[in-house]
């Protein structure tokens, strides 16, 4: 197989990764991919660093069983623990969300105040803070851990109880709005699924999606390496959780009409 038509290995703890897949299908419609949802271990955001590192190594090993051309980490929390060792295990280029999302947000902010909504683990790593201030050290960054949010979105109870969803989001937004940020990074790939509610609560805020930023980074890398695909032949979704549940989620959250092959991971 030509290198360019090899699949990209993509992983997340769950449906957050599907928001990355949606942008991928939009921006790079010829790409092939192997998607892995580590549903057995969600939420990543409340786990300690050592445990997370092991999970990320396992994720990389799983997608690396396939003949892939690159790995896209569709998870900010996973990105926050990547180190030299994990990069070596990968063997192909790794595309990571945090730096590229930070770069987009730096371009967007006018008043130089950026809020970051992310998981507890991502906030603890301070990687967003460091990345933003590396681009511009005059920017004020306010992190807001949202420990309940990814789980709510994954289990979809937020969509059945909109009042509760709005209440939870209000609590997380409040400290950031009080700091008068004009831009908020959705620093967890699950959060763009709540964008409708967030924009209702904070109409003037510029929300920057880490899912879109990840795909723009994929595009940049593939262009640089002359690896843009020109033929669709492999798009498979794997889960180590309940396969029926995952099927329903892909039907609900993948916005393009594609042939979805869903398998249990091995
Ligand atoms: N979607 C993931 C992220 O971008 C993490 C969600 C979780 O499992 O806590 O951080």
Q: Residue 33: which CATH number?
A: 3.40.50.1860
What contacts 80, CB < 8 A, 6 or more positions away? 52, 98, 121, 122, 124, 125, 127
Tens digits of residue pLDDT in 189-221: 999 999 999 999 999 999 999 999 999 999 999
pLDDT at 266 over 80: no
Q: Specify whether 56 is located in the same domain as 187.
A: no
- 22 contact partners, CB below 8 Å, separation of at least 6: 211, 253, 254, 255, 256
Confidence of residue 62 (pLDDT cuts 50, 70, 90): very high
Terminus-to-terminus CA distance in the chain, angstroms? 24
Contact predicate 44/81, CB 8 Å: no
| Pocket-forming residues, ligand 1, beta carbon under 6 Å | 12-13, 16, 42-45, 75-77, 119, 122, 150, 188-190
Mean pLDDT, residues 112-128 taken together: 98
Neighbours of 213 (CB within 10 A): 27
Choice from 52, 189, 213 to test ligand 1 binding pocket (greatest atom count within 8 A of CB)? 189
Mean pLDDT over all residues of the chain?
Answer: 96
Overall pTM > 0.95: yes
Rounded to the nearest whole angstrom, what is the distance from the C-alpha of residue 15 to the centroid of ligand 1? 9
- Contacts of residue 174, Cβ cutoff 8 Å, sequence gap at least 6: none
Residues 25 and 111 in one domain: no
Domain boundary among 186, 210, 234: 210
Do 110 and 190 share a domain, yes or no? yes
DSSP class per residue in 193-225 = GGHHHHHHH-TT-EEEEHHHHHHHHHHHHHHHT
Which of 174, 190, 210 is the C-terminal boundary of a domain? 210
pLDDT at 60 over 80: yes
Residues 6+ apart with CB under 8 A from 248: none
Helices (H) and strands (E) in the chain, counts: 13, 10
Report the distance separating Cα 174 and Cα 118, nearest Å. Answer: 15
Residues 15 and 103 in one domain: no
Query: Do 124 and 251 belong together in one domain?
Result: no
Atom of ligand 1 nearest to the CA of 44: 8
CA of 249 from ligand 1 middle (Å) equals 16
Count CA within 13 A, CB hemisphere, residue 114: 30
160 φ, ψ to 5°? -90, -20
- 90-108: b (≥16 Cβ within 10 Å) or e: bebbbbbbbbbbbbbbbee
Instruction: Collapse the DSSP code of 83 into the 3-class scheme (helix H, G, I; strand E, B; otherwise coil) and give the result.
Output: coil
Q: Are residues 91 and 102 in the same domain?
A: no
Task: For residue 1, name the pLDDT band (cuts at 50, 70, 90).
Answer: confident
Does residue 116 sit in the same domain as residue 176? yes
Residue 157: predicted pLDDT? 74
Q: Of 175, 194, 210, which residue sits at a domain end?
A: 210
Is residue 199 domain-shared with residue 242, that is, in the same domain? no
User: What's the 120 CA to ligand 1 centre distance in angstroms?
Assistant: 10
Which numbered atom of ligand 1 lies nearest the CA of 77?
A: 10
When divided into structural domains, the chain yields a total of 2
Q: Predicted confidence band at 53 (pLDDT cuts at 50, 70, 90)? A: very high
Q: Do both 251 and 220 map to the same domain? A: yes
Quick one: 200 and 240 in the same domain?
no
Answer yes or no: do 165 and 196 share one domain.
yes
Among residues of the chain, what percentage have pLDDT more than 90?
94
Q: Quote the pLDDT of residue 118.
A: 98
Q: Count the Cβ atoms, other than its own, within 10 Å of residue 6.
A: 22
* Domain containing residue 111: 98-210
* Catalytic positions, written as ranges: 75, 188
Q: For ligand 1, what atom is nearest to the CA of residue 45?
A: 9
Distance in Å, CA 45 to ligand 1 centroid = 6
Residues 141 and 164 reside in one and the same domain = yes
In this predicted structure, the answer to whether residue 13 has a pLDDT above a threshold of 80 is yes
């Amino acid at each position: 197989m030509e290198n360019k038509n090899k699949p990209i290995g993509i992983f997340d703890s769950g449906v957050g990764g599907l928001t990355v897949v949606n942008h991928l299908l939009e921006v790079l419609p010829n790409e092939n991919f192997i998607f892995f949802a580590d549903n057995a271990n969600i939420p990543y955001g409340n786990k300690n660093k050592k445990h997370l590192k092991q999970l990320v190594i396992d994720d990389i090993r799983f997608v690396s069983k396939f003949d892939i051309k690159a790995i896209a980490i569709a998870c900010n929390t996973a990105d926050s623990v990547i180190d030299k060792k994990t990069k070596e295990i990968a063997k192909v280029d790794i595309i990571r969300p945090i730096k590229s999302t930070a770069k987009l947000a730096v371009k967007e902010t006018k008043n130089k105040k950026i809020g970051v909504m992310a998981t507890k683990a991502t906030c603890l790593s301070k990687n967003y803070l460091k990345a933003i201030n590396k681009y511009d050290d005059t920017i004020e960054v306010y992190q807001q851990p949202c420990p309940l949010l990814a789980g709510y979105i994954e289990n979809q109870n937020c969509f059945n109880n909109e009042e509760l969803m709005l209440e939870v989001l209000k609590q997380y937004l409040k400290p950031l709005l009080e700091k008068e940020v004009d831009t908020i990074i959705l620093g967890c790939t699950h959060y763009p699924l709540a964008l409708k509610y967030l924009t209702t609560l904070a109409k003037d805020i510029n929300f920057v999606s880490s899912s879109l930023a990840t795909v723009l980074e994929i595009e940049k890398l593939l262009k640089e390496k002359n690896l843009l695909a020109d033929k669709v032949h492999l798009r498979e979704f794997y889960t180590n959780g309940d396969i029926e549940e995952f099927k329903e989620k892909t039907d609900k959250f993948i916005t393009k009409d594609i042939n979805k092959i869903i398998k249990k991971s091995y």
